[in-house]
């Protein structure tokens, strides 16, 4: 059977299983199974070994069960880096690249990435801000293991990882705090795509009743760990920008701005700590 026929069969099976992009996924699975790029597979010149075809078949069964493609192949591209991931961490999303772009443009000398998960945001920032001091934390010890392994593999071991419930175990101050916290309303999680609801860590998604429990707590803790005029940038969900800006205003932040993702959704809110604010301690 040639490559084209294998892709056709895979695409048909994934479509029947309700996968959103069946043909693309079949192409990517076959390419990854053969250890080549998608364009090489499409060119049809790759000689497929029986073992590559066997892997493809096993992976199709997993994708039919709606396991996310990124968990099956074990990696995900993000900005200019490739992250090794597994179900201990949320899969890095394209819209989160906006968060990195915004913080990188501000060129802070020190950054704390809260709830780092796979390390995506912290490691992309370390890759793009070559002299910045980057610290990353997560409440999940499993996530820290995944993130540290990514840092080593990418040659970005200068990023410091700390196991911490929000800022509880964090010492000192930073020029910028960045976070993609869990922000899905608890009641909405079961209604998300099966790939998300059934496979991704609930801890990385569940933001409480209105989705903003962790945002509220982080924004309350952040002023004690930010330089005067320091930047905060938070990824949020659909419709959460006004409430997030209000939370920031109540905690000494100024210059609130919201930034839309490629789908036109207000996805990131940024603000500056009021330089005239008096420290609480
Ligand atoms: N963007 C994710 C989703 O809706 C949510 C990630 C998060 O809570 N930070 O699937």
| Burial (0-12, 13-18, 19+ Cβ within 10 Å), 83 | buried
pLDDT at 113: 98
pLDDT at 281: 52
pLDDT band at 279 (very low <50, low <70, confident <90, very high): low
Gap from CA of 88 to ligand 1 centroid (Å): 15
CA distance 173 to 176: 9
CA distance 155 to 160: 13
Closest atom of ligand 1 to 180 CA is: 9
Portion of the chain with pLDDT greater than 70, in percent: 99
Closest atom of ligand 1 to 211 CA is: 8
* pTM (2 d.p.): 0.95
Tokens of residue 89, six digits: 């961490």
Q: What is the pLDDT of residues 223-249, one digit of tens each?
A: 999 999 999 999 999 999 999 999 999
Tokens 């922000």 correspond to what residue? Answer: 183
Tokens of residue 164, six digits: 């911490």
Question: Mean pLDDT, to the nearest integer, of 9-37?
Answer: 97
The more confident residue out of 98 and 43 is 98
- Candidate of 70, 90, 99, 120 to mutate for ligand 1, largest count of ligand atoms within 8 Å of Cβ: 90
Is pLDDT above 60 for 45?
A: yes
Closest atom of ligand 1 to 90 CA is: 6
Pocket lined around ligand 1, Cβ cut-off 6 Å: 93, 180, 182-184, 192, 196, 205, 235
Mean pLDDT of the chain: 96
Is pLDDT above 80 for 16?
A: yes
- Candidate of 237, 240, 267 to mutate for ligand 1, largest count of ligand atoms within 8 Å of Cβ: 237
CB atoms closer than 10 angstroms to residue 51: 10
Closest atom of ligand 1 to 205 CA is: 8
Gap from CA of 181 to ligand 1 centroid (Å): 8
- Candidate of 93, 115, 203, 213 to mutate for ligand 1, largest count of ligand atoms within 8 Å of Cβ: 93
């Amino acid at each position: 059977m040639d490559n084209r026929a294998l892709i056709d069969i895979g695409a048909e099976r994934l479509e029947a299983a309700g996968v959103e992009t069946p043909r693309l996924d079949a192409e990517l699975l076959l390419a990854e199974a053969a250890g080549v790029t998608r364009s090489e597979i499409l060119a049809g010149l790759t000689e497929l070994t029986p073992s590559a075809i066997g892997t493809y078949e096993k992976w199709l069964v997993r994708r039919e069960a709606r396991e996310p493609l990124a968990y099956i192949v074990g990696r995900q591209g993000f900005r200019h880096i490739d992250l090794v991931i597994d179900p201990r961490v949320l899969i890095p999303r394209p819209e989160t690249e906006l968060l990195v772009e915004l913080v990188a443009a501000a060129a802070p000398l020190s950054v704390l990435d809260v709830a780092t998960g796979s390390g995506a945001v912290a490691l992309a920032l370390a890759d793009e801000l070559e002299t910045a001091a980057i610290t990353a934390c997560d409440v999940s010890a499993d996530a820290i293991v995944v993130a540290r392994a990514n840092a080593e593999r990418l040659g970005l071991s200068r990023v410091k990882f700390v196991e911490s419930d929000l800022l509880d175990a964090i010492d000192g101050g930073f020029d910028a705090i960045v976070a993609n916290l869990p922000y899905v309303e608890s009641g909405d999680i079961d209604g998300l795509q099966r790939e998300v609801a059934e496979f991704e860590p609930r801890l990385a998604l569940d933001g409480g009743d209105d989705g903003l429990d962790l945002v509220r707590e982080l924004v309350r803790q952040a002023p004690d760990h930010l330089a005067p005029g320091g930047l905060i940038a938070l990824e949020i969900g659909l419709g959460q920008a006004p409430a997030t800006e209000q939370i920031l205003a109540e905690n000494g932040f100024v210059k609130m701005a919201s930034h839309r993702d490629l789908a036109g959704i207000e996805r990131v809110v940024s603000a500056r700590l009021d330089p005239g604010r008096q420290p609480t301690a």
